[in-house]
Amino acid sequence: MKLSCLQENLAKGLNAVGKVVGTQTDLPILSNILVKTDEGRLKLSATNLEIGVNFWVGAKIEKEGLVTVPAKILVDYINSLPNKKVNLSLEKNVLKLSCEGNRASINGISAEEFPLIPEVKPEISFKLKSEILKEIIPEATVAAALDESRPVLTGVCLKIRGDQLKLAATDSYRLAERTITLPGKAKKEITAVIPSTTLKELLRIIIGDPEIREVNCLVGRDQIMFDLGEGNLVSRLIDGKFPSYEQIVPESNKTKAKIKIEDFVKAIRTGMVFSRDAANNVKLSVKKTGEIEIKSTAVQVGENVSVIKSKVEGEGGEISFNSKYLLDGLASIPGEEVTLELNDKLNPGVLKPVVEKKYFYIIMPLRS
């Protein structure tokens, strides 16, 4: 293999694929990036067996070839070089690099051992603007489970019906759902569970590359692919049925409070000084007068009470929440104000944006 390309373009490709490599694995090859010539371009690939990322870089190819090299050292080295031409050549699985007075050689592993990143046979495809994805991915993944004892809860449920696309996630303690309208009606209905780690990786890539303005999403039977133009991300789908959550979504409320998010967050953070010693429990007392009292108690330490102003409609009442889950929900709400909807202390609370958006974040109450 012998080729040359610009450092800026090579660094861009390596940064796109480099975060996917396995960091804790018994297979050394998964810590490597595949460097390969491919139809007049340089192809970079990485996988952790759940997610695979490919990225193509424009290059002047003089000789074909392929090898895998350790991701961290290759990414760090290329990022440290000046924005000039980088020359790459291969000699017996040793990748040699040079760029304006800098020369390095990196020992690689034969590409024969590198896992194949599967091709996706799409059953449905649709396009989404990057700006939309930057909104809806964190809004949904915030509620996905981290505990892998129930794998389906670590994913985000994608539902498409007509021109409506829904993303939903739940860890059984909270639930987030975002709905958007597609430009046209889908040819068929589909439900799939995408690993939340996959969506977070997609988000990282599109945030890091402002040139990706639109993503083509192709959903297959077992895999999903996000076509990024100069690259793609391929992931397995989670096997299993996502819980039917619609029945826990409250259809009405007895109390509705409109609150400034900044004031709400400050009060909760203040209370967490005490609530962290009491399972993050904070008690909200919503008054008809427009005040919300936020109380945190630690039996061995003491207590704190913060009072904030709000616009209250309805009966008022008391309810206890996990303060961390409450903060996570508030962080996902756009705008300066949030609507908190309550029924009673035994039923879930609902956070909704005041601005027009089809999004809600439900939190199960704590018994107090």
Are 128 and 217 in contact by the 8 Å Cβ rule? The answer is yes
Pick the CATH number of 250-363 from 3.10.150.10, 1.10.10.10, 3.40.190.10, 3.30.70.20: 3.10.150.10
Is the model more confident about 27 or about 323?
A: 323
For the chain, the structural domain boundaries read 2-113, 124-246, 250-363
pLDDT of residue 368: 66
Q: Answer whether residue 57 shows pLDDT above 70.
A: yes
pLDDT above 90: residue 22: no
Calpha distance 167→174 (Å, rounded): 14
- CATH number assigned to the domain with residue range 2-113, chosen from the 4 options 3.10.150.10, 3.40.50.1820, 3.40.50.10420, 3.30.70.20: 3.10.150.10
- Provide the percentage of residues in the chain whose pLDDT is more than 90: 88
How far lies 17's CA from each of 7, 141, 217, 261, in Å?
Answer: 16, 21, 18, 36
How do residues 68-126 score in pLDDT, each as one tens digit?
A: 999 999 999 999 999 999 999 999 999 999 999 999 999 999 999 899 999 999 999 99
- pLDDT tens-digit series, residues 290-324: 999 999 988 788 899 999 999 999 999 999 999 99
CA distance 86 to 98: 6
Q: Tell me, yes or no, if the pTM score tops 0.85.
A: yes
Q: What would the CATH number be for the domain defined by 124-246?
A: 3.10.150.10
pLDDT confidence bin for 187, thresholds 50/70/90: confident
Residue in 15, 16, 45, 13 with CA at minimum distance from that of residue 29: 45
